[in-house]
Structure 1
Amino acid sequence: MNADEGLVALGFTEVEARVYCELLKGAPATGYRLAQALGKAPPSIYQALASLEHKGAVLVEEEEPRAFRPVPPDEVLTALQRGFELRRREAADALRKLHAPVQDDRIYHLKSVAQVMERARAMIAGAAERLLFDLFPPPFEHLAPALTDASARNVAVAGLVYDETPKAPFDCVRSADADFVRERWPGAQLTLVADAREFLVALLTPDGTGVRQAIWSDSVYLACLQHSGLSAEVRLNAPQSARARLSRSFSLIGSSPPGLRQLVGLPASPSKRGVLS
């Protein structure tokens, strides 16, 4: 990608991008000189210069003939980023007002790694009490920061890993069969269960850059089953000294996560013991 194409990708028109780049090569310059250098009609050049001035990308010398000077690229790019963030927040607020989440218990297929990772991060960010995971190295590397943030806000986090046990503020249990599984499993596994309310299961390509199969569902029944099975796997592979603590924190009945309380019709807040009675 050349400089012109980069600016067009950021929202400049083709003429604006060429004018700005020409000013970077030699400034100050008049609109007439720019029109000659670029082989464009003067009206289109002056229109582009007016737009660039509005965007904060050029400075104008108010003498006759008027000359134009480019704002340094770092300043332009910073302003574009701030403008994008402002528009993104405004769009997010407007879209949230339209969006009324409805639990439908269906299973949805995800097709791209970006979609899988964004769904995973959204699940982690939305978790209120408990997160369980089963992550091969590539997806773990992507999701570790989000899991760390969840742990920092007092969400209980634990799961299986398949490399050397990383230093993390949450429970990472290395699978006893890690070497065999990594050698024989047909891809990089990603399993995530949030609050026993929703789950994501994905088989990525071995390097984590493609999706072989991925599903997500907010069925609390299926999420409870996933939570139960994964919590048992975590406890089975954990050191004996950690199993009782992990059982209290993550077993489906013992920890009574939000999805189980919803499934059996208990109030949204857990009892003082945090278990089903």
Structure 2
Amino acid sequence: MDADEGLVALGFTEVEARVYCELLKGSPATGYRLAQALGKAPPSIYQALASLEHKGAVLVEEGEPRSFRPVPPDEVLAALQRGFETRRREASEALRKLHAPVQDDRIYHLKSTAQVMERARAMIAGAKEVVLFDLFPPPFAALTPALTEASARRVAIAGLVYDETPKVPFDCVRSSDADFVRERWPGAQLTLVADAREFLVALLTPDGTGVRQAIWSDSVYLSCLQHSGLSAEVRLNAPQSTRTRLSRSFSLIGSGPPGLRHLVGQPPSSSKRGNTE
């Protein structure tokens, strides 16, 4: 991607991007000189300059004729980022007012890596008590910050990994078949269960940049089954010395996560881990 394509991707028009880049090459410059250099009609150049001035990307020296100088790129990009964040917050607030989440127990297919990873991060961020995972190295590296943040909120977290056991503030158990599985499994596995309320299962490409198949559901019944099976796998692969603790903290019956309480009709209660007074 060259410089003007980068600016177009950030919201500049093609003419605005070319004018700004031309000013970076040599300024100050008049609108007439820019029109000659770019082979564009003067009216379109002056329109672009007016828009760039409004965006805070050029400085205007009044005179006859007027001349223009570019604002340094770092300042322009910082202003664009601040503007984007402001618009993002406004849009988020407006969209949140419209969104009324409803549990529907259906299974949904996810098609892109970005969609899979954002769904995974949202699940972790929304977890109240417990998260279980089965993660190959690429998705584990991408989700470690979110898992670490959830652990700091006293969410109980444990899962299977397929590389050397990392130094993180939550339980990671290296699969006893890690080398064999990584060699034979047709991609990078991502399995995540949050509060036994929702689960995500995805087979990514080996480098973690593509999706071969991915499903998500908020069916508490299916989520409880996923939680139970994954918890058993974690405990089976864990050292004998930690199995009792892991069973108490993560087994479906032993820990009684929110999804199970909902499934069996137990009245809601305050969170056991994530809700501190």
Alignment correspondent of 2:45: 45
CA distance in 2, matches of 1:15, 1:187: 44
**Residue 102 and residue 271 in structure 1: after superposition, are their counterparts in 2 closer, same or farther (change >3 A)?**
closer
Alignment correspondent of 2:227: 227
CA distance in 2, matches of 1:233, 1:60: 66
Asked whether the equivalents of residues 129 and 271 of structure 2 are also in contact (C-alpha less than 8 Å), the reply is no
Deviations 1:134-153 (A, max 9, x none): 11111111111111111011
Corresponding pairs, count: 273
CA distance in 1, matches of 2:147, 2:205: 22
Q: More relative contact order in 1 or in 2 (CA 8 Å, sep 6+)?
A: 2
Deviations 1:156-204 (A, max 9, x none): 0000111111111000001112122222222211110000000011112
SS in 2 for 1:5: helix
CA distance in 2, matches of 1:272, 1:151: 14
SS in 2 for 1:133: strand
SS in 2 for 1:6: helix
Deviations 1:91-138 (A, max 9, x none): 111111111111000011111211111111111111111000011111
Structure 1 stretches of 4+ with a deviation exceeding 2 A read 270-273
| Amino acid across the alignment from 2:242 | A
Q: Which moved more, 1:264-273 or 1:60-69?
A: 264-273
Alignment correspondent of 1:16: 16
Alignment correspondent of 1:211: 211
CA distance in 2, matches of 1:171, 1:271: 20
CA distance in 2, matches of 1:31, 1:167: 59
TM-score normalised to the size of structure 1? 0.95
Q: Which moved more, 1:35-44 or 1:209-218?
A: 35-44
CA distance in 2, matches of 1:272, 1:193: 17
CA distance in 2, matches of 1:57, 1:14: 14
| Amino acid across the alignment from 1:196 | A
SS in 2 for 1:79: helix
| Amino acid across the alignment from 1:181 | V
Give unpaired runs (5+ residues) of structure 2: none
Give unpaired runs (5+ residues) of structure 1: none
TM-score normalised to the size of structure 2? 0.95
| Amino acid across the alignment from 1:219 | S
Alignment correspondent of 1:167: 167
Deviations 1:196-241 (A, max 9, x none): 0000111122222222211110000000011011111111111111
SS in 2 for 1:229: helix
Alignment correspondent of 2:120: 120
| Amino acid across the alignment from 1:47 | Q
Asked whether the equivalents of residues 103 and 218 of structure 2 are also in contact (C-alpha less than 8 Å), the reply is yes
Asked whether the equivalents of residues 256 and 270 of structure 1 are also in contact (C-alpha less than 8 Å), the reply is no
| Amino acid across the alignment from 1:158 | A
Alignment correspondent of 1:32: 32
SS in 1 for 2:138: helix
Superposition CA RMSD, Å? 1.5
Asked whether the equivalents of residues 200 and 215 of structure 1 are also in contact (C-alpha less than 8 Å), the reply is yes
SS in 2 for 1:53: helix
Query: Within 5 Å, which residues of 2 pair with 1:1-277?
Result: 1-269=1-269
Asked whether the equivalents of residues 188 and 207 of structure 2 are also in contact (C-alpha less than 8 Å), the reply is yes
**Residue 47 and residue 10 in structure 1: after superposition, are their counterparts in 2 closer, same or farther (change >3 A)?**
same
CA distance in 1, matches of 2:183, 2:21: 51
% identical equivalent positions: 90
